[in-house]
Amino acid sequence: MRPTVVVAIASSIVALALAGCAQITTAPSPAAVAAPSVAAAPAVASTAPPAPASTPSPAPKTVSKAPALPEIAAASPPVKAVAPPTLDLASLETRLRETSAIGVFTKLSLKNQVTDLLDQFKTFHHGGAPALTTLRQEYDLLLLKVLSLLQDNDASLASAISASRESIWGILVDPVKFAKLG
């Protein structure tokens, strides 16, 4: 067959399929199921009458099942990441003093901020003015500052502080535990 005849026949079949007079279905290949592709039909004038504009024809529906994925036999249980142990305040203070990730003047500034925060907690536990939500915000900001200073040069201390965040907060909020801090 000549190429022009093949194109004319193909365009006639496409026009009939679009008009709803014929249905074209092909069995999909495994590659087509995984990644379907759309091929454009050449725009050639056909001798078939055009479909009426007022009644849209439904598109032919073909449903194919994708091949079932093989099951993995005896899947291993998920491995849980071991969290670093939580720090008590004495070891936290010692590790912060010994780290080289924070400069001397920054350590002095942090010590002053910690002292101010502890004074606010003393006032809170004696029925004073700062609300617990305000104290939590200041505590979180101070810890974020410390974590940002440590994250690049002392990641182990930063992760230990991050893991100890809630236990330290529990000590600060509990009046009995807070009184034992001295």
When comparing pLDDT for 109 and 20, which is higher?
109
Mean pLDDT, to the nearest integer, of 9-35? 54
The closest of 54, 52, 44, 47 to 18, measured between CA atoms, is 52
> Would you say residue 32 has pLDDT above 70?
no
123-164 pLDDT, tens digit each = 999 988 889 999 999 999 999 999 999 999 999 999 989 999
Q: What is the pTM of this model?
A: 0.53
The pLDDT assigned to 116 comes to 95
The pLDDT assigned to 130 comes to 85
* Residue listed under structure tokens 């009939």: 16
> Would you say residue 81 has pLDDT above 70?
no
How far apart CA 85 and CA 163 sit, in angstroms, is 7
Mean pLDDT, to the nearest integer, of 85-111? 85
The pLDDT assigned to 128 comes to 85
Tell me the percentage of the chain whose pLDDT exceeds 90: 40
35-65 pLDDT, tens digit each = 444 444 445 554 555 555 555 555 555 555 5
Classify residue 130 by its DSSP letter: -
Distance of CA 16 to the CA centre of its chain: 48
Enter the tokens of residue 47. 């001798």
The pLDDT assigned to 91 comes to 83
